[in-house]
C-alpha cells in the first residue's frame, strides 16, 4: 500500500517567479532536514499559469503546479488545500524563505495541537517607510505566510472565507474561526521563515485593501460605523512608520501614498459599510 505525504505545503502565487524560485529552493528535496518523502509542495497559481508551468517543469519538477481560481488569495489557498494529499496543511507565501528545519520543527510539534504557528522574521529589517514585512516573533497572529493546520480541522471550518478578495484580513478571520471552534494556536518558534522586505502597493491599492478590513469588522461585531475609526488608525500607523525610518524622499512618497489611501477610503467607505451591513446585519455575528 502506498502511503501519501504527511505534510502538504501550499504556496499561492501570482506572477512573482523570482520570489517563488527563492522560496521553492528551500523546499526542494534535500533542502529541508525533514525527509522529502514526508512532504509535498503545491504551488497554486492565480497568474500566468502557462509561463510559470513551463518554468517549473524545468526548475522544480518535484513541485505540483495547480491552476488557481483567480478570485483572490483566500480562494487560491483553498484551491491548493483541495489539491493536497497530506494529513497536515502548511501555508506559506511565495516570497518567504523557509529555514532548513522549518518542516521538521512542525513535525516535532504535531502532537501538541491541531493548529501550529511558526515564527516569521525580517532579518534585513525595514529601511524605508515604503516597505513592509509581516513579522511574527511572539505568536498569536496566525499570519498566512507561516502556519500549519490539520487538514481535517481546516475542512471542518470550511477553510478560508473567500469573501475576503484582497490579501488582507483573510488569515485574521481564519484565526478567529479556529478559536471559536475550540482550537488553540500552538506556538512553534523553531518553525522559522524569513520574510524579506517588499515594496508596499500604491496608496490607492492599499486603500482598496481596506474594504476587507471593513468586512472583517462588521463580521465580528465592531461598533458601527467603522470607517472613521479605520481612517484614524491608518493615519496613525503610517505616521508612526514614517517617524521611525530615516528621513528622505521615501518619507515624502510615503506621506503622499497615505493621502491616496485615506482618500480612497473616504470615497468608498460608505458603500463598503452598506454592503457589509447587508451581509452581516446587527443581529448576526460570525
User: Does residue 285 surpass a pLDDT of 70?
Assistant: no
Q: What is the mean pLDDT of residues 114-136?
A: 96
In which band, very low, low, confident or very high, does the pLDDT at 246 lie, cut at 50, 70 and 90? confident
Query: What integer pLDDT is reported at residue 282 of this predicted model?
Result: 87
Express as a percent the part of the chain with pLDDT over 90. 96
Q: Give residue-wise pLDDT tens across range 29-79.
A: 999 999 999 999 999 999 999 999 999 999 999 999 999 999 999 999 999
The rounded Cα 111 to chain-centroid distance in angstroms is 24
Cβ atoms of 174 and 232 closer than 8 Å: no
Query: What integer pLDDT is reported at residue 257 of this predicted model?
Result: 97
How many Å apart are CA 107 and CA 130, to the nearest integer?
A: 36
Q: What is the mean pLDDT of residues 82-90?
A: 98
CATH code for residues 7-199: 3.90.550.10
Express as a percent the part of the chain with pLDDT over 70. 98
Q: Give residue-wise pLDDT tens across range 5-30.
A: 999 999 999 999 999 999 999 999 99
In which band, very low, low, confident or very high, does the pLDDT at 4 lie, cut at 50, 70 and 90? confident
User: Model's pTM, two decimal places?
Assistant: 0.95
Cβ atoms of 31 and 100 closer than 8 Å: yes
How many Å apart are CA 169 and CA 228, to the nearest integer?
A: 18
Q: What is the mean pLDDT of residues 91-118?
A: 98
Domain-wise residue ranges, the chain? 7-199, 203-279
User: Does residue 286 surpass a pLDDT of 60?
Assistant: no
Query: What integer pLDDT is reported at residue 1 of this predicted model?
Result: 38
The rounded Cα 233 to chain-centroid distance in angstroms is 21
Query: With the C-alpha atoms ordered 63, 69, 73, 77, is the resulting torsion angle positive or negative?
Result: negative
Query: What integer pLDDT is reported at residue 3 of this predicted model?
Result: 62
Q: What is the length of the chain?
A: 286
Residue with cell 479556529: 178
Amino acid at each position: 500500500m502506498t502511503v501519501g505525504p504527511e505534510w502538504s505545503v501550499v504556496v499561492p502565487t501570482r506572477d512573482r517567479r523570482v520570489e517563488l524560485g527563492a522560496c521553492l529552493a528551500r523546499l526542494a528535496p534535500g533542502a529541508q532536514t525533514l525527509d522529502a518523502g514526508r512532504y509535498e509542495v503545491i504551488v497554486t497559481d492565480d497568474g500566468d499559469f502557462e509561463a510559470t508551468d513551463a518554468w517549473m517543469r524545468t526548475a522544480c519538477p518535484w513541485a505540483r503546479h495547480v491552476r488557481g481560481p483567480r478570485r483572490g488569495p483566500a480562494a487560491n489557498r483553498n484551491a491548493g488545500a483541495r489539491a493536497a494529499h497530506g494529513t497536515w496543511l502548511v501555508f506559506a507565501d511565495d516570497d518567504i524563505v523557509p529555514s532548513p528545519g522549518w518542516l521538521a520543527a512542525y513535525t516535532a510539534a504535531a502532537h501538541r495541537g491541531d493548529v501550529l504557528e511558526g515564527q516569521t522574521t525580517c532579518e534585513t529589517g525595514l529601511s524605508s517607510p515604503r516597505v513592509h514585512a509581516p513579522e511574527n516573533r511572539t505568536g498569536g497572529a496566525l499570519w498566512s505566510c507561516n502556519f500549519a493546520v490539520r487538514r481535517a480541522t481546516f475542512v471542518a471550518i470550511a477553510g478560508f472565507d473567500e469573501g475576503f478578495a484582497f490579501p488582507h484580513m483573510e488569515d485574521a478571520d481564519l484565526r478567529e474561526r479556529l478559536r471559536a471552534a475550540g482550537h488553540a494556536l500552538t506556538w512553534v518558534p523553531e518553525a522559522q521563515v524569513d520574510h524579506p522586505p517588499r515594496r508596499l502597493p500604491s496608496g490607492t491599492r492599499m486603500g482598496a485593501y481596506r474594504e476587507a478590513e471593513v468586512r472583517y469588522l462588521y463580521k465580528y461585531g465592531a461598533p458601527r460605523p467603522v470607517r472613521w475609526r479605520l481612517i484614524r488608525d491608518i493615519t496613525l500607523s503610517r505616521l508612526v512608520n514614517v517617524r521611525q525610518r530615516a528621513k528622505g524622499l521615501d518619507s515624502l512618497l510615503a506621506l503622499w501614498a497615505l493621502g491616496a489611501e485615506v482618500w480612497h477610503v473616504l470615497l468608498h467607505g460608505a458603500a463598503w459599510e452598506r454592503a457589509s451591513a447587508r451581509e452581516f446585519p446587527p443581529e448576526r455575528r460570525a
